[in-house]
Amino acid sequence: MKKFTMMMLLLAVSVLVLAACGSDEEKSTESTDDTAYKLVNEGKFTFAASGVYKPFSYEEDGELTGFDIEIGNALAEKMGLEANPVTNPFETILQGLVGNKFDAIIGSMAYTKERAEQADFTEPYYYSGGMIFVAKDNDDITSPEDLKGKKIGVIAQSTYEESAKELSDDLQYYTSDVVALKDLTVKGRIDAVITADIVGFEAIENGFEIKEVDKPMWVEQPSIAVNKENPELTKALDEALKEMIDDGTYAEISEKWFGRNLLDIDLEGVELLE
């Protein structure tokens, strides 16, 4: 009887051990599935923007807001994470990503082959044209060729910097496109600004006495930049972005800020910046 009791006790212990092992294995698998990508802050999606690029990212009443910020917040929600937007100067934002200061850049950073050497990029989350803007009363500059020898305002390390260098050897660097566009209205300060068409048109709508020159020189593909060592996060963001587009979340955000869908563009015959 004692022998039988001992055997039953051992059997019960064995079942409990096996059950515990199975539970641990299951828990481990679930953990691996849920956290396949790395985050700088557990449970939070930390993404960076310059914070000085209205209407994409800027501060209002002490809070970060704008199109880029709302896209990042929505992506975090789709992935079941807490949104944690932060700011970083645009000229050093890639270095911050590589240095693991944040998980991603959602800061209107256009994909280029050069940038793709430092970071991975998702599919584009909007399209934008690179355009020249001048003061409203400036009739001397009507094409890119007219910028030779002129002072051009541009953001350092932006996709517009290289084009500006090709058009003139006199550049004025800014950290904010809004400040650069405002300087166009100050006589003798700068002659032109090269920036995103969306930003320039937004400034015009807000009363800036400026105008566009000709048509966009190219169309760029702002995308989400992710550390190259975190491909699982890039994949997760692409999936969340597709879900946002499919369920109408993206269109709702875009319509709110611009009155149109920034992904709804005819790219046939258009030069895409790479």
- Is the peptide bond prior to 55 cis by the omega test (within 30 degrees of 0)? yes
- Give the model's pLDDT for residue 32: 36
Residue 24 has pLDDT above 90, yes or no: no
Residue 265 has pLDDT above 60, yes or no: yes
Q: Rounded to the nearest 5 degrees, what angle is found at the Cα of 132, between the Cα atoms of 125 and 127?
A: 10
| Tokens 């946002």, located at residue | 244
Please report how the helices 231-246 and 249-258 are oriented relative to each other, as an axis angle in degrees rounded to 10.
Answer: 80
The predicted-structure confidence for 120-168, as pLDDT tens digits, reads as follows 999 999 999 999 999 999 999 999 999 999 999 999 999 999 999 999 9
Residue 37 has pLDDT above 50, yes or no: yes
Alpha-carbon dihedral 66, 132, 112, 241, rounded to 10 degrees: 30
The predicted-structure confidence for 83-101, as pLDDT tens digits, reads as follows 999 999 999 999 999 999 9
Q: Residue count of the chain, please give it.
A: 274
Please report how the helices 67-78 and 249-258 are oriented relative to each other, as an axis angle in degrees rounded to 10.
Answer: 170
- Give the model's pLDDT for residue 270: 75
- Give the model's pLDDT for residue 227: 98
H or E element, residue 198 = helix 197-205
- Give the model's pLDDT for residue 35: 57
The predicted-structure confidence for 216-236, as pLDDT tens digits, reads as follows 999 999 999 999 999 999 999
- Give the model's pLDDT for residue 154: 97
**Confidence at 110, pLDDT banded by 50, 70, 90:** very high
The arithmetic mean of pLDDT across residues 190-209, rounded, is 96
**Confidence at 266, pLDDT banded by 50, 70, 90:** confident
Q: How far is CA 83 from CA 33, 41, 207, in A?
A: 20, 11, 33
**Confidence at 3, pLDDT banded by 50, 70, 90:** very low
Round to whole Å and give the CA distance between 129 and 107: 16
- Give the model's pLDDT for residue 186: 96
Per DSSP bridges, beta strands 170-174 and 210-220 are: unpaired
